[in-house]
Amino acid sequence: SEKITVALAGNPNAGKTSLFNALTGARQHVGNYPGVTVEKKWGHVSLGGQEVEIVDLPGVYSLTAYSLEELVARDYLVQEKPDVVVDVVDAANLERNLYLAVQLLELGVPLVIALNMVDVADGRGLKIDPDKLGRLLGVPVVPTVARRGKGVERLLDEAVEKARRQKTWRPLELSYGSDVDQALGELTAKLGGVGPALSPLSPRWVSIKLLENDAEVQKQISRELQLDGQLDPMRHKLAEHLRLTMDDDPEGVIADYRYGFIGGIYRQAVQETRAHRLELS
């Protein structure tokens, strides 16, 4: 069977390096991402005759184009299209870490979540139901303690299984409230006609990035499509409307809705025990 490529994503300090080491052992290579001085590590592992390549992405909090690391991580996903992404999430800081997970879901990549540092979360009185979290997010969630190699084998199994089952990107479509949704609908309709020019990105995802004022996507769109002149006025109209009605910009409103989505899931999948509340007080 063909090689499967697994990309490791995650916030800094979530345990990505520990997981990478546990997965690949000594079979590691180090270089740079093309054209930039951001370190790229990759390694290989064989699973029952299936060759798996593991690529370590830069640690990031988001998939916007605000930092070089974020841009490198995003470009890698879009240009190299790894077969599956494993998002390493710090269970002890779950809500904040899920922000990246939601953005990976919105991008639509085949995704598995490594719920790492469950030992730390446990110690702090956080009871996380991984199956419930997985059902609510729509992706497999595997508890791990990367530093001790716990759960790593099952994680790899789930990642390979996911890669075999999901061959296309399936973007999660969140609502960002009626004003943003309406503007998204208009932008998406304009972009929808451009065919495979955006592949594997969905027109809706590109529209979200345009509303978020993402300079890289703007550049790309004006390079590849002749639509830029038509998109700018739509973007500005929404920005002005949100400033007047909500005293916010599109980026802020979109982020708020993402956190709202995360909050709803967190409340259902996580129990903050008495021990946790005492620790915080």
Q: H or E stretch including 5?
A: strand 4-10
Query: Could you say whether residue 273 binds ligand BGO (CB under 6 A)?
Result: no
Query: Could you say whether residue 24 binds ligand BGO (CB under 6 A)?
Result: no
The Cα–Cα gap between 231 and 215 comes to 13
The Cα–Cα gap between 251 and 242 comes to 10
**In terms of CB distance, is 25 or 138 closer to ligand BGO?**
25
Q: Which of 43, 58, 59, 110 binds ligand BGO (CB under 6 A)?
A: 59
**In terms of CB distance, is 41 or 235 closer to ligand BGO?**
41
CB atoms within 10 A of CB 185: 12
Query: Could you say whether residue 145 binds ligand BGO (CB under 6 A)?
Result: yes
Query: Could you say whether residue 18 binds ligand BGO (CB under 6 A)?
Result: yes
**In terms of CB distance, is 18 or 218 closer to ligand BGO?**
18
Q: By the 8 A CB rule, do 112 and 33 touch?
A: no
Place of tokens 């590109």: 206
CA distances from 125 to 90, 110, 271 (A): 15, 31, 8
Query: Could you say whether residue 41 binds ligand BGO (CB under 6 A)?
Result: no
Query: Could you say whether residue 147 binds ligand BGO (CB under 6 A)?
Result: yes
Smallest CA-to-CA distance from 128 within 266, 253, 23, 254 is with 266
Q: Which stretch binds ligand BGO (CB under 6 A): 28-36, 39-47, 116-124, 128-136?
A: 116-124
Q: Which residues bind ligand BGO (CB under 6 A)?
A: 10, 12-18, 59, 116-117, 119-120, 145-147
